A and B are shown apart, each in its own frame.
Chain A
Amino acid sequence: MQINERFNYDIVIMGAGLAGLSAALTVAEQHPDLSVAVLSKVHPVRSHSGAAQGGINAAVAADDKWEDHYYDTLKGGWFLGDQDAVRILTEQAPQAIYNLDRWGAHFDRDEHGHFAQRPFGGQRRNRTCYVADKTGHALLNTLYEQAVRLNVDVFDEWFVFDLIHHGDEFLGLLAFANKTGTIGYFAAKTCLLATGGAGRIYGQSSNALINTGDGMALALRAGAALKDIEFFQIHPTGLPNGILITEGARGEGGYLINKDGERFMKKYAPQFMELAPRDLVARSIQREINEGRGFDDGCVRLDLRHLGAEKIKSKLPQIREIAMYFAGVDPIEQPIPVRPTVHYTMGGIDVDINCAAPIKGLFAAGETACVSVHGANRLGGNSLLDAMVFGIRSGETIPAYLHAADGPDRTGEEALLEAAMDRFNALFGDDGEDVPTLRREMERIMVASFGLFRNQALMEKGLAEMSALHRRYADVRVKSTDLVFNPELIRALELGFMLEVAHACALAAVDRRESRGSHYRDDFPTMDNAQFLRHSLVTRDAQGTLTLAYRDVTVTDTKPLDEIKY
C-alpha cells in the first residue's frame, strides 16, 4: 500500500472532542488566514467528551473568586499540579464558559438569569455550570455546530496511524479514510494532539471504546515524554461493562453488599458507610472482590430495593434506565452489579503552559496532555474545563508559534514517509499474534497490578509481564488488507498505542514509592513531598526502550500540604 493523497495545512488537529474543536474554532475566528484540518477516527459528535454528564467548573458567580477554584484544584490534585498551569486553568475558566454561551450552549440559568451552578466534590462552593445532566453532550454538539458554521475542514472517520517527524521537528500525519480506504499524508507546520484519554488499557473502564491513547503513543514514539502517566482516576461504581452508576444512587440511600449479604462499608467507614470519599469506597469494594467476597461475576451489588419502586422511579429514573439497558437489571427487583471502573487519565503528553511539546510544531491539549493541572487526582467538573481552556489556549499559542517560526525543513521527508509506509505494510500478513488475546492480557495486567491497590511486588510482576507482552506485539499481523472499515486493522493499531501507554504507566508507577491521589500503595501508604513532589517523565528511544526521569513540580505561591484531609 502507498500514499494516495497529499494535503498541506498550517495546523492539523488530531481529535475532535472539546479540546480539538475549541482549538479549531479559536483559530478559525481569530486567524481565518491559517488553514486548519481536524482529523477524527470517528465523527466529531461521537467523541468521548460527549459522555461527561455533570458539568464544567468556573468561578463565574459574582461572589466567587478564581483563586478559590485554584486552591481547590491544587488540593484536590494532592499538589502535584503545576501552580502556573492551574492558575491558567482557573483564571481562564470564566472565559471558556462565555465562549460556549456565545457559541450557543444551553447552560441552565438560576432564578436571576445567571449561570446555574451545582456542588461537586472537593470544592468549597457551588461552581459547576451545567446543561441538565448532559453537559458534555450539549457542549460537544455546540462546538461541532460552530465548526459547521465556520467551515472548518473536518476529516471524520480518518484514522491516524503514524506521526512523521525529523528529529525534534514535526512534519505531518499519516492517516487512512475508513470510508474510502484512501491513505493520506497531512503535511503541516504544526499539529495539535487532542485524542483524549487512555482508560481502555484497563479491563474495567468507563471510557468509550475509542479511548486508546492514540495521541499519547504517537507523541511518545516521536520522542516526547508522558508525564505522571501512573495516575488513573478510578470511580467506585461501574456496571460490569464499565458504565458509571453515579454517586446519586448511594446518596439516595443505596446499600453496597457483598455475596454474604453484608453491608461491608461498616468495616471500612462505619460513620459514613456508602457515602465515604470515592477513593475509600472504591478500595473497599475492590478489597471485598479480591478477598473472595464478590459475586461470581467479579462484582459486588448496589442494592436499591429497600428504597421501594416509587422512590426509585421518582428520584433515580436515570440510574434505573442505565441498569436496565446496560446490565439487564431492574433495580426495583434486583440489586445492580457494580465494581470500580477506570475513569480518567490524569497524566499525558508532557507539554508546557502553552501546550507545546519539546518537538517543534507539536502541541497537545485536553486529556491527552498533561500541562499539568489535575495533579494526582482530578476534581469533578475540571475535565471539560481542561479541554476547553487549553483547547482555546492552543488555538492562540499555535498561531503565535507559526508567526514566529519558519516552516519545518522538509529535507529527507520522502525517505521518512517511505519508512513509515514500510512499517505500516509490515503489519499485514497471515500468521501472527492474536489481537483480542493480547488486549485481554494487557487489560488483565493493568487491573491486577496497577489498579486500586499497588505495591512493589505486584507492580514489579506487572511491569515484567507488560514488557513481555509489549514484545509480543511485534508479531501481530492483520489478515485483511482492505482499508475500508477494517476493524481488525484498527483494533491492532489501537492495541499498539495502548501498549505504549500501559508500559509507560507500569514503569512510572513502580518507582513512585508513596501514595498520592489515585496512586495508592499499601506498602507506602502516605504521601512523601520530600521525595515525590515531582512529575514522572517517561520517554522512549527508537528501539522502544523506556526511560524514567523526574521534574520538580512548579510551585509559585502556595505551599503544598504534607497531608490531604477533607
Chain B
Amino acid sequence: MKGRFNIFRKRAGESEPYRQEFEVELFPGMTLLDVFHAIQAEQDPSFAYRYSCRGAICGSCAVRINGTAALACKTQALPLAEQGTVHVDPLGNMPTVKDLVADLDTFWEAYDSVRPYLERAGETHDEVFFWADKLDAKQLDQLSRAVDCIKCASCFSDCPKRAEDENFIGPQASVQLFKFFVDPRDDLHSMRRDAAASPGGVVDCDSHANCVKVCPKDVRPLRAINFVKKELSVTQE
C-alpha cells in the first residue's frame, strides 16, 4: 500500500517552516527511517534527517511521530500508515536546524552540566571489584538501565517540566547524574549531591513520567530521579 506522511519542513537559516505531504510505497518490514531514505532518494534529495546505525543503538534518528518522540528506525511504517496519515516532526523543546534535524545544543549543554564522567583519584583500575557489595539489586538494575541510555533526546523532547522551565536539566542529564552519583568509584559524590539539589537539578522533576513512556531503551529516567531524590531526603534528615 501507499502510506501518507505529513512532514515538517524547514530550510536552513531564518526561513519559515511549512508542512509537506509525501506518498511512499510501503512493504512489510519497512521502518519509518526507510521511508525517510525513500523520500530522500526518490522524491526530494534535500530532505534532511539524522541517521547512523538504523538498529536503535546510536540514538540519531529520534523524531516526533504523531506527536510523540520515538526512534524512526525502531518504528514499523506499515501498521502506522494503515491508521491514517503519519505526522512527523523534529524533536521538541529545542529549535530546529532543518527539516527533521533538531538543534541539540541545549540537550548537550544539560548533559555537560552534570559532569557526566567518572572522576577518580589514582591512575589504576580495579583488579577485583564487587558491584553487589556497594549497591543493592534495585540500584544495580537501574544502573544497568542508565548505561543503556543512547542519548537520543526523546525524553528531553517530551518532558513537560523542561517545556515550562528551561533551567531544568531534563531526564537524560538526570540519568547521567544518577549513574555517577551511585557509582562507588566516583570522587565527586558531594558535588553531585549539591548539583542534584540545586535549582534546575534533579529535585525539580515534577514526575510527569513522559520520559518513562517515550524512552526507546527502557531506561526509566524517573526511577533514576527518584533514587537520587530519596538519597537526598535521607541525608537531609
Q: Is A329 among interface residues, defined by CB-CB distance under 8 A? A: yes
**Are A104 and B118 in touch, CB under 8 angstroms?**
yes
User: Could you tell me the distance between the alpha carbons of A485 and B102 in the complex, rounded to whole angstroms?
Assistant: 11
Q: Provide the bound-state CA to CA distance between A549 and B202, in Å.
A: 61
Distance in angstroms between the alpha carbons of A414 and B199 in the assembled complex = 51
Count residues of chain A with CB under 8 A from any CB of chain B. 58
Q: A46-B59, A113-B129 are in contact. Are A208 and B74 (CB under 8 A)?
A: no
Q: In the complex the two chains form, is A42's CB within 8 Å of B57's CB?
A: no
A241 and B125 contacting across the interface, CB-CB below 8 Å: no
Given that A149-B117, A480-B46 are contacting pairs, would A326 and B31 also be in contact in the complex, using a CB cutoff of 8 Å?
yes
Neighbouring A residues of B56 by C-beta, 8 Å = 325-326
Q: Does B151 contact A (CB under 8 A)?
A: yes
Q: Is B60 an interface residue (CB 8 A)?
A: yes
Residue count of chain B within 8 Å CB distance of chain A: 64
B73, B99, B128, B129: which contacts A326 (Cβ < 8 A)? B73
CB contact under 8 A between A113 and B118, given known A51-B58, A241-B54, A488-B45? no
Instruction: Determine the chain A residues whose CB is within 8 A of the CB of B51 once the complex forms.
Output: 209-210
> A65 within 8 Å of B by Cβ?
no
Using CB atoms, name the residue of chain A closest to B104.
A43
Q: Which candidate, B34-42, B154-162, B206-214, B221-229, is the interface stretch facing chain A?
A: B34-42
Query: Any chain B CB within 8 A of the CB of A184?
Result: no
Contact across chains for B58 and A329 when beta carbons are under 8 A apart: no
Residues of A within 8 A of B1 (CB): none
Q: Does A50 contact B (CB under 8 A)?
A: yes
Interface: B22 (CB within 8 A): no
- On whether the beta carbons of A45 and B129 are closer than 8 Å, the reply is no
Contact residues in B for A51 (Cβ distance below 8 Å): 53, 55, 57-58
Contact of A46 among B45, B58, B74 (CB under 8 A): B58
Of B141-149, B163-171, B190-198, the stretch lying at the interface with chain A is B141-149
Assuming A46-B52, A104-B185, A208-B58, is B112 touching A482 (CB within 8 A)? no
Residues from chain A with a CB closer than 8 A to the CB of B31 are 241, 325-326
| Residues of B contacting A99 in the complex (Cβ-Cβ under 8 angstroms) | 125
Q: Is the CB of A112 within 8 A of B128?
A: yes
Enumerate chain B residues within 8 angstroms of A69, measured Cβ to Cβ.
none
Question: Judging by beta carbons under 8 Å apart, are A208 and B53 in contact?
Answer: yes
Given A106-B143, A208-B54, also A484-B98 (CB < 8 A): yes
Beta-carbon contact of B45 and A98 below 8 Å: no
Query: How distant is the Cα of A102 from the Cα of B126 in the complex, in angstroms?
Result: 7
Given contact pairs A51-B55, A240-B29, A325-B76, A487 touches B128 in the complex (Cβ within 8 A): no
CB contacts (< 8 Å) of B104 on chain A: these are 43
B118 adjacent to A243 (CB under 8 Å): no
Query: Is A550 engaged at the interface, CB distance under 8 Å to the other chain?
Result: no
Q: A303 CB to closest chain B CB, in angstroms?
A: 17
Complex CA–CA separation, A45 to B73 (angstroms):
17
Closest to A240 in B: B29
How far does the alpha carbon of A518 sit from the alpha carbon of B129 in the complex, in Å?
A: 39
Set of chain B residues within 8 Å of A124, measured between Cβ atoms: none
Contact between B128 and A485 (Cβ–Cβ < 8 Å)? no
Report yes or no: A48 in contact with B53, Cβ–Cβ below 8 A: yes
Instruction: Tell me if A101 counts as interface (CB < 8 A to partner B).
Output: yes
- Chain A residues with CB under 8 Å of B119's CB are 149
Q: Does A118 contact B (CB under 8 A)?
A: no
Chain B residues contacting A208 (CB-CB under 8 Å) are 52-55, 58
In Å, the complex CA distance between A241 and B76 comes to 13
Query: Pick the contact of A487 from B12, B46, B149 — CB < 8 Å?
Result: B46
Q: Is the CB of B59 within 8 A of A109?
A: no
Q: In the complex, what residue of chain B is closest to A137 when comparing beta carbons?
A: B57
Q: Is B232 an interface residue (CB 8 A)?
A: no
In the complex, A128→B147 CA distance in Å?
A: 19
> In the complex, A322 Cα to B52 Cα: how many Å?
17
Partner pick for B12 among A98, A109, A482, CB 8 A cutoff: A482
Residue of B79, B147, B151 near A138 (CB, 8 A) is B147
A77 to B148, alpha carbons, bound, how many Å? 32
Contact yes or no, A101 B97, CB < 8 A:
no
Check if A525 is an interface residue, CB within 8 A of chain B. Answer: no
- Residue A114 at the chain B interface, CB threshold 8 Å: yes
Q: Whole-angstrom distance from the CB of B124 to the nearest CB of chain A? A: 6
Specify which of B41, B79, B144, B183 lies most central, judged by the most chain A CB atoms within 10 Å of its CB.
B41
- The answer to whether B48 and A485 touch across the interface, beta carbons within 8 angstroms, is yes
A179 in the interface, Cβ–Cβ < 8 Å?
A: yes
- Distance, CA A381 to CA B13, complexed state (A): 45
CB distance from B216 to the nearest CB of A (A): 9
User: Are B125 and A480 touching (Cβ within 8 A)?
Assistant: no
Would you call B74 and A326 a contact (CB within 8 A)? yes
Q: Interface centre among A132, A322, A326, by most B CB within 10 Å? A: A326
How far is the CB of A384 from the nearest CB of chain B, in Å? 14
Contact of A106 among B50, B130, B147 (CB under 8 A): B147
Chain A residues with CB under 8 A of B127: 114
Chain B contacts for A46, CB-based, 8 A: 50, 52-53, 58-60
Set of chain A residues within 8 Å of B128, measured between Cβ atoms:
112-114
Instruction: For residue A439, give the distance in angstroms from its CB to the closest CB of chain B.
Output: 9
**Does chain A have a CB within 8 A of B189?**
no
Closest residue of chain B to A239 (Cβ to Cβ) is B29
- By a beta-carbon cutoff of 8 Å, the part of chain A in contact with chain B is 42-43, 45-48, 50-51, 97-99, 101-104, 106, 109, 112-114, 131-132, 134, 137-138, 141-142, 145-146, 148-149, 179, 181, 208-210, 239-241, 243, 322, 325-329, 337, 435-436, 479-480, 482, 484-488, 491
12 sampled A-B residue pairs with Cβ under 8 A: A43-B60, A46-B52, A113-B129, A138-B147, A145-B117, A146-B118, A325-B56, A326-B54, A328-B76, A480-B46, A485-B101, A487-B40
With A102-B123, A114-B127, A241-B34 known, 18 other A-B pairs at CB within 8 A are A42-B50, A45-B151, A48-B52, A102-B125, A104-B118, A104-B185, A109-B129, A109-B130, A134-B147, A138-B147, A145-B116, A181-B12, A327-B29, A479-B45, A484-B98, A485-B99, A486-B48, A488-B40
Top 6 closest A-B pairs, CB basis? A104-B118, A484-B12, A101-B125, A145-B117, A488-B45, A113-B128
